């Protein structure tokens, strides 16, 4: 079951498809479809190409420089980019911090940050998780102490994706140690290129080092870089997370559909009933994920805001992707141990899916409480 597109939407899809076909580098597409590592230039290069057409921020309204697309048009764009092997939209800036600046930011913040996110000049990272505050984010210990017309920040973050390449960080820090843990937090925009900020890349089982430890030792943030007001960091942070998970919904389900097709090619001629049953089960779950993404799309179109339903899509995607890559490894047998096999990388990288962007356990709680309305246990 797919969306039934109008004639106008079909023309829009054709326009997107033609633009990608004419402008996406074949070498970059081969990397994406072959699950090879993308360089920073690969990603920013495609972002700049999209920017020339006004498409680098597909979810943004026209008033802030975006294309002003409907939710259905955004979905079409995500599917066409995924199918063609285009690099993903730069999520931390475009999909996560920008909506927060649009909703809570001052006019000065909007005028300074949004054009630089749009052009790709500024890369962002997310300073939330700490060694002792992951799933229970409100327990974070990083502190910001007032100093003159600004703040001095000291603390540590971890699993900070792309921090070593970022210019700015959306940072959650404790500004009132005496308030309840959810109420004493403030959301800052921190310049990463200053004394007192250190990143230490963490090497993963894939061999990459996209995650980092982030250390702040009396780093300075001016008052004008607070978003949403002092002590109001929790609702601002939650807004960021909802946009993160909602933004992932269609992109992730589209990736699953592409991966299913690739795995089907690997399984051609397979007669093993167990393997065929496992594949069928994954295909069914992938279709459920697709339908849930459509439901989330409908909800967002009605309310204008992403809701907690995005947590369900992210949770299901993590399970499906891990099952899919595990099946691929089982089918390939000993050859799956080869580092240059695309499924080897995908299997290893998929281990992080149930942790990053919210652990599966926490997402289940969110779905139970905020989607199903069940009482807290």
Cβ contact 180:233 at 8 Å? no
Q: Which two tokens stand for residue 316?
A: 């299901």
Determine the Cα–Cα distance for residues 364 and 371; give it in Å rounded to an integer.
10
User: What residue segments make up the domains of the chain, in order of their start?
Assistant: 7-89, 124-231, 235-371
Q: Which two tokens stand for residue 39?
A: 């360089």
DSSP secondary-structure letter at 14?
H
Topology of the domain comprising 124-231: Butyryl-CoA Dehydrogenase, subunit A; domain 2 (2.40.110)
Look up tokens 């403030």; give the residue.
186
pLDDT in tens, the chain (377 residues): 456 789 999 999 999 999 999 999 999 999 998 888 889 899 999 999 999 999 999 999 999 999 999 888 988 998 899 999 999 888 899 999 999 999 999 999 999 999 999 999 999 999 999 998 887 889 999 999 999 999 999 999 999 999 999 999 999 999 999 999 899 999 999 999 999 999 999 999 888 888 999 999 999 999 999 999 999 999 999 888 876 666 566 667 778 888 888 889 888 888 999 999 999 999 999 998 888 877 777 776 676 666 677 788 888 989 999 999 999 999 888 877 776 777 888 899 999 888 887 788 888 888 888 888 888 76
Cβ contact 174:191 at 8 Å? no
Residues 6+ apart with CB under 8 A from 199: 160, 163, 164, 192, 212, 213, 214, 215
CA atoms within 13 A on the CB side of 339: 5
Q: Which two tokens stand for residue 262?
A: 């690739």
- Rounded to 5 degrees, what are φ and ψ at 353? -60, -35
Q: Describe the chain by its helix, strand, coil percentages, rounded to 5.
A: 55, 15, 30
- Greatest CA separation for the chain: 72
Residue 217 designated active-site: no
Q: Which two tokens stand for residue 206?
A: 């894939």
E-strand ranges in the chain read 124-127, 143-147, 150-157, 168-174, 185-191, 197-202, 211-222, 226-227
Domain 235-371 has CATH 1.20.120.140: no
Decide if 124-231 and 235-371 have a common fold: no
pTM for the whole structure: 0.87
Catalytic pick among 79, 210, 244, 309: 244
């Amino acid at each position: 079951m797919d969306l039934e597109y109008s004639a106008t939407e079909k023309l829009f899809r054709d326009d997107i498809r033609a633009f990608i076909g004419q402008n996406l580098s074949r070498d970059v597409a081969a990397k994406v479809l072959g699950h090879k590592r993308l360089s920073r230039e690969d990603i920013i290069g495609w972002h700049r190409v999209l920017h020339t057409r006004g498409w680098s921020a597909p979810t943004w309204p026209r008033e802030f420089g975006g294309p002003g697309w409907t939710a259905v048009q955004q979905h079409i764009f995500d599917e066409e980019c995924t199918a063609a092997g285009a690099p993903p939209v730069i999520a931390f800036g475009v999909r996560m911090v920008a909506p927060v600046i649009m909703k809570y930011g001052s006019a000065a913040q909007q005028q300074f940050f949004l054009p630089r996110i749009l052009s790709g000049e500024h890369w962002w990272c997310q300073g939330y998780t700490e060694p002792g505050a992951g799933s229970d984010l409100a327990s974070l210990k990083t502190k910001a102490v007032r100093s003159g017309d600004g703040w001095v920040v000291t603390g540590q973050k971890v699993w900070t994706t792309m921090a070593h390449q970022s210019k700015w960080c959306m940072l959650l820090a404790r500004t009132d140690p005496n308030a309840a843990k959810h109420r004493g937090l403030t959301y800052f925009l921190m310049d990463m290129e200053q004394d007192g900020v250190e990143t230490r890349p963490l090497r993963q089982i894939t061999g990459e080092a996209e995650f980092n430890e982030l250390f702040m030792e009396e780093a300075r943030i001016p008052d004008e870089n607070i978003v949403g007001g002092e002590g109001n960091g929790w609702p601002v942070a939650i807004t960021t997370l909802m946009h993160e998970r909602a933004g992932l919904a269609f992109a992730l389900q589209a990736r699953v559909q592409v991966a299913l097709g690739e795995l089907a090619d690997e399984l051609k001629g397979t007669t093993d009933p167990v393997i065929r049953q496992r594949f069928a089960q994954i295909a069914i779950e992938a279709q459920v994920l697709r339908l849930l993404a459509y439901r989330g799309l409908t909800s967002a179109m009605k309310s204008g805001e992403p809701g907690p339903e995005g947590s369900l899509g992210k949770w299901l995607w993590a399970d499906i992707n891990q099952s899919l890559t595990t099946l691929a490894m089982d089918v390939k047998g000993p050859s799956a141990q080869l580092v240059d096999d695309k499924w080897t990388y995908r299997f290893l990288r998929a281990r992080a899916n149930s942790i990053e962007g919210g652990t599966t356990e926490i997402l289940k709680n969110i779905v139970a409480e905020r989607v199903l309305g069940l009482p807290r246990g």
